[in-house]
Amino acid sequence: MTTAPLDKPMQIGKARLNHTQIFWIGFCVVMAVLIVAPLLLPEFWRRFLTESLIWGLLAMSSDLLIGYTGMVSFGHSAFFGLGMYGAAAALIAVKPPNLWLAIMFGLAGAGVAALFVAYFSTRLRDIYFAITTLIFSQIFYVIIFTWTEVTGGENGLIFDRPRLSVPFVYNVRFTSTTLHWFVLAVVAGSYLFLRRVTQSPFGMVLQSIRENEPRTLAIGYSVARYKMVAVMLSGLFAGLAGVLYAVQNEFAAPNFVFFLTSGETVIYNVIGGIGTLVGPIVGAGFFQLARELLSRFFGDQFPYLIPLGIVFIAMIIFLPQGILGFARRWLNR
Amino acid sequence: MGAIANFLHAIPLELIIIQTINGVVTGMILALIASGLTLIFGIMDVVNFAHGELFMLGAYVGVVIVAVTGSFWLGLIASALIVGIFGAALQIVTLRPLIGRDPLNTILATFGISLVLQNYALWQFGPVSRKIPDPMSSSFTLFYLQYPWYRIVIALLSAAIIGGFYLFLKYSKFGVWIRATAQDRVMAQAMGIPVPLVYTGVFAIGSAMAAASGVLFAPTTGVDHSMGLDWVLKAFIVVVVGGMGNLGGSILAAIFISLLESYAAIWLDPSQAVIVSFVALILTLLFRPTGLFVATPK
Amino acid sequence: MSVSADSTEPLVRVDDVHTYYGKSHILHGVSLTVQPGEVVGLLGRNGVGKSTTLKTIMGLVNPSHGTVLLDGNAITGLPPHRLARLGIGYVPEDRRIFRLLTVMENLRTGLDRGGVNEDRRRALLEKVFTYFPVLAERRSQAGGTLSGGEQQMLAIARAMMLEPKIILLDEPTEGLMPRMVSQIRRIIEVLHNDGVAILLVEQNVPLTLEASQRVYVMEKGSVRHHCAASEIDVHHPVIKQYLGL
């Protein structure tokens, strides 16, 4: 009896599906559900779903660092916040507000922050890096909070949502449904892109860094460069999430830059399952849903972070691989 | 050079002295908090994100006890004891299962604990800040100010607590156990030292120190659920600048950073004065990452 | 004082122990015994698992299979600090004294136990300072400032503070000058006369054969030969075969 290689379809009587086919079928099913959903859901839940996707994108960007490179960063609130404020700057400064300009400004803002963090990422390990990224978030927070003339300080900035405009093709306002589809397209596209990245030789080196950094260095890889690129990528996608948030909610506020946002992002990662890319999206959704349900059941003032925090701690102790952790190997093939 | 001299002359000497005293007072509180943090990190390799919340809890427990008994000193001692025991319980339930795992886990777990504690405090005590009345209302005249004696007492007490702890560490049996465990956990066990108990004890001591700082500091500002956040950030900066695990270094760094912020407050808004500590951190990480106050860079 | 009748319950019995480091299968069913007060040698080349056997007994490594018994009671899986209190002393390869603690503090880590009154403390310290006068001289010095030979003595003295029933000695003469080697030889004799059992891992065959009552020879993670020390000498084929001498 010869055994067939694992990645080829196995012929046992009926044709069986191989891994790639199963993945794409699953992906299409999920996409179909998410595309149809806004048509069926009431307004509140439509926006809720969109916003969960945005937080999911943020969490996914963080997973590139935590799950694949093994670097814990509390700096994502800085990337997210600067993406948000960058977009705000474009939407306020240039009339009529232009979507693509907002994206560019936002990415530029996040890119600057990422450059900062990337530099330090190469000189610091583990705990020092985590603490430093936290401090960076706080530096940006203080600057944004106190530089009231430019950033609106405590009150943040309010602006108008741009129209979806493709030059010479069309120019329409976003409805909450079309905005949802736009966000979905961006998030799905980001996922597929990041998946390609993690499965590429580059991604393999990142994972090797996570497993055993000294050995990776000894083999001859320029670990510092790989880390910097990872941080830049992660920062850019986090900034993209910030832009989407600004576009959806039409405001920018400093509290998103506070390091607690990074902390919550990391929570989504852990709950959903690190190293899976899609797990953090699930984690974000789960967390937002739990929070919404808890406040509906127990009232607005209910400190939802107490039970959710306890769940988080319990998961670290008993289920560190997260909700989708069991599927981690499968999702990465 | 001349311009700088003129600039410095323009600042009244009295202001500098006042800010120096303020800096030292705050520095001593910060030193007490940072000592607990660096102790926990040095012995157990745990980055305790919840340390600020233990400080905050200590202050709240102090508020409650002082309200009930009317005695500040009773509040101080009781709070340290209660929070110390709470810290031990916390360590046994959430951190002991994580020993031996990737340090990422403890960072996340202590972060989760800090979230839960913060929100608990907000829920239990509400958003309005509480106060602990000054245990002594007398003050002395410092130039044009009435400087409360209490602030000097805080600094002295903090120094006393740190000093007492140092003696404990150096001479007592448990102190030897702690130091042996810090140097070689495996051989400490082989010598019969119950290392899991040492870890719990160290966490309890760190928690008690944080709580004591909370009670000592409370009369000078209000007590609210977010007071831990500012302090834990500063404490982390102090611990990194002073050299992680280096007790003497953290104390010096605490005073250094507080003085920097105090002087900066002469020109800047207090909420902006924190930038100097951030800058100090960045410079340390760039040029002397093992700590500014470490004897030789490793 | 030297008991060697096999019918009495051994002090330490290692029974078919398998130990892994990650995926590496280091010990393949090791079995040995040590009688109370006996000196037992464990010989073998580098890397055959002699140190791992000691670490397994001391609870520093958990076996995946098999048991370790002390006085007839199973101790497998107990934490090392319990075993130290139960009477197992451990002197590791490369000594591992607490470098930043003084000599006195190093001794205190073993001395500061419950149930040791002031008199016994003083007696223990006196005994150790008599055997190792250099430690008495350097008692306030940091352990890290001692020479290699002095550190080795401190490591042994520290284990003696536990008043153990058995001391696990891992390559005590490694890297020591000949004068120190004979001093180690004398200390083993003194401990033996005191009734302390010793499981001695050594590369120095003549020393081991001289000091021990019985020897085991290991290769590739298991015991290949076992006999009374008097039955063989350095030129014996068993030694040639398993130690390549």
Domain ranges in chain A are 46-259
Lowest mean pLDDT among A15-19, C207-211, C231-235: A15-19
Say if B251 falls within a structural domain.
Answer: no
CB B231 within 8 A of CB B276: no
**Residue A309 contacts by C-beta under 8 Å, 6 or more apart in sequence?**
B112, B113, B115, B116, B119
Residue type, A29: V
Query: Is A120 in contact with B285 (Cβ distance < 8 A)?
Result: yes
**B192 contacts in C (CB within 8 Å)?**
81, 84-85, 109-110, 113, 162
CB contact burial B193-205 (16+ within 10 A = b; e otherwise): bbbeebbbbbbbb
Interchain CB distance below 8 Å, B285 and A132: yes
Sort A39 into a burial class: Cβ within 10 Å, 0-12 / 13-18 / 19+. Answer: exposed
Nearest chain A residue to B46, by CA: A127
Choice between C97 and A148, residue whose per-residue pLDDT is larger:
C97
Sheet with C73-74, edge to edge strand ranges = C24-34, C12-21, C65-70, C73-74
Residue B243 is assigned to a structural domain of this protein: no
**How many whole angstroms separate alpha carbon A250 and alpha carbon A156?**
11
Task: Examine the pLDDT at A10 and tell me if it is beyond 60.
Answer: no
pTM over 0.90: no
User: What is the distance between the alpha carbons of residues B211 and A292, in angstroms, rounded to a whole number?
Assistant: 34
Residue A7 confidence (pLDDT): 52
Q: Find tokens 């995946």 and name the residue.
A: C64
Inter-chain contact B94–A317, Cβ cutoff 8 Å?
A: yes
Say whether the ipTM exceeds 0.90. Answer: no
Whether B272 is covered by a domain: the verdict is no
In angstroms, the separation between the Cα of residue A50 and the nearest Cα of chain B is 26
Q: What total of structural domains would you count in chain B?
A: 1
The domain of B112 spans 26-123+132-225
Chains A and B touch (3+ CB pairs under 8 A): yes
User: Which pLDDT does position B223 carry in this prediction?
Assistant: 87
* The pLDDT of residue A119: 83
Question: C241 pLDDT band (50/70/90 cuts)?
Answer: confident
Pairing of strands C197-201, C39-43: parallel
Residue B274 forms contact with A (CB below 8 Å): yes
Measured between alpha carbons, how far is residue C34 from residues C12, C40, C75 in Å? Answer: 5, 7, 15
d(CA B46, CA A313): 15
> For residue C66, how many other CB atoms are within 10 A of its CB?
17
pLDDT at position A278 over 60: yes
Q: How far A59 CA sits from the closest chain B CA (Å)? A: 15
- Interface contact B179-C81, CB threshold 8 A: no
Q: Kindly determine whether residue C96 and residue B195, on different chains, have CB atoms separated by under 8 Å.
A: no
Cβ of residue B83 closer than 8 Å to a chain A Cβ: no
Residue A283 has pLDDT above 70, yes or no: yes
What percent of chain A clears pLDDT 90, i.e. is strictly above it?
A: 20
Helical segments of B126-269, H only: 149-171, 173-183, 185-190, 195-217, 227-242, 247-264
Q: Which of C81, C92, C99 sits opposite B183 (nearest CB)?
A: C99
Chains near B with 3+ CB pairs less than 8 A apart are: A, C
Helix (H) or strand (E) holding A80: helix A76-93
Q: Which two tokens stand for residue B276?
A: 């100097």
Q: Of A1-5, A326-330, B61-65, B238-242, which has the strongest mean pLDDT? A: B61-65
> Would you say residue B194 lies in a domain?
yes
Cα–Cα distance measured from residue B220 to residue A230, given in angstroms and rounded to the nearest whole number: 45
Q: Do B116 and A306 touch (CB under 8 A)?
A: yes
> pLDDT category, A130, cuts 50, 70, 90?
confident
Nearest to C204 by CA among C89, C44, C47, C53: C44
CA-angle at C46, arms to C44 and C50, nearest 5°: 55
Contacting chains of C (3 CB pairs or more, <8 Å) are B
Q: Residues B283, B284, B285, B287: is their CA dihedral positive or negative? A: positive
Average pLDDT over residues C155-166: 93
User: Do the chains contact at C80 and B179, CB–CB below 8 Å?
Assistant: no
Question: Which of B123-132, B237-246, C189-198, C222-231 tops mean pLDDT?
Answer: C189-198
Task: Read off the tokens for A81.
Answer: 């916040």
Is C58 touching B (CB cutoff 8 A)? Answer: yes
Across the interface, do B192 and C162 touch by the CB < 8 Å criterion?
yes
Picking from A313, A315, A319, A321 by the largest number of B CB atoms within 10 A of its own CB, the best residue to mutate is A313
C-alpha–C-alpha distance, residues B237 and B233, integer Å? 6
What CATH code is assigned to C12-97+163-243? 3.40.50.300
Q: What is the pLDDT along chain B (298 residues), one digit of tens a residue?
A: 666 666 666 677 778 888 888 899 889 989 999 999 989 988 888 889 899 999 999 999 999 998 888 888 899 999 999 999 999 999 999 999 998 787 778 888 998 999 899 888 888 888 888 887 777 777 777 667 777 888 888 889 999 999 999 999 999 989 999 999 999 999 999 999 999 999 999 999 999 999 999 999 888 888 888 888 888 888 888 888 888 778 888 889 999 999 999 888 888 877 778 888 888 888 887 787 777 776 554 3
